[in-house]
């Protein structure tokens, strides 16, 4: 089994009210990642990714360049990928 890592993210731009979290959840599931995402008070979306580093890097690129069809990502910030011993959540979910 490949080593697990985690990474936090925050995406800025037109990312609320455009199904960004739903599309993020779908893409994370496609890539086999776990974690969560949620809207923030400053109109960004933040979250956590857990899984294989290569897949997390693919998800990071998706968050920066793709998002949901009606979103307009201005920038995305990420923490360094850090090793974790085990998953902290069972799936990828949207926090409310």
Domains and CATH numbers, the chain: 4-94 (3.30.70.100)
Q: Which residues are identified as catalytic? A: 21, 39
Token pair 């926090």 is found at 95
CA separation for the pair 85, 93 (Å, rounded): 20
Helix H or strand E encompassing 29 = helix 20-30
Q: Of 76, 85, 84, 43, give the one whose Cα is nearest residue 57.
A: 76
**What pLDDT score does 2 carry?**
67
> Mind listing the pLDDT tens digit of every residue in the chain (96 residues)?
569 999 999 999 999 999 999 999 999 999 999 999 999 999 999 999 999 999 999 999 999 999 999 999 999 999 999 999 999 999 999 998
Total number of residues shown for the chain? 96
């Amino acid at each position: 089994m490949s080593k697990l890592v985690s990474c936090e993210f925050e995406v800025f731009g037109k990312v609320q009210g455009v199904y960004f979290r739903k599309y993020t959840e779908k893409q994370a599931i496609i890539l086999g990642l776990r974690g969560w995402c949620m809207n923030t008070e400053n109109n960004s979306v933040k979250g956590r990714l857990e899984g294989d580093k290569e897949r997390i890097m693919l998800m990071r690129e998706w968050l920066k360049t793709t998002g949901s069809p009606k979103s307009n990502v201005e920038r995305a910030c990420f923490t360094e990928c850090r090793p974790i011993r085990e998953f902290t959540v069972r799936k990828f979910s949207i926090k409310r």
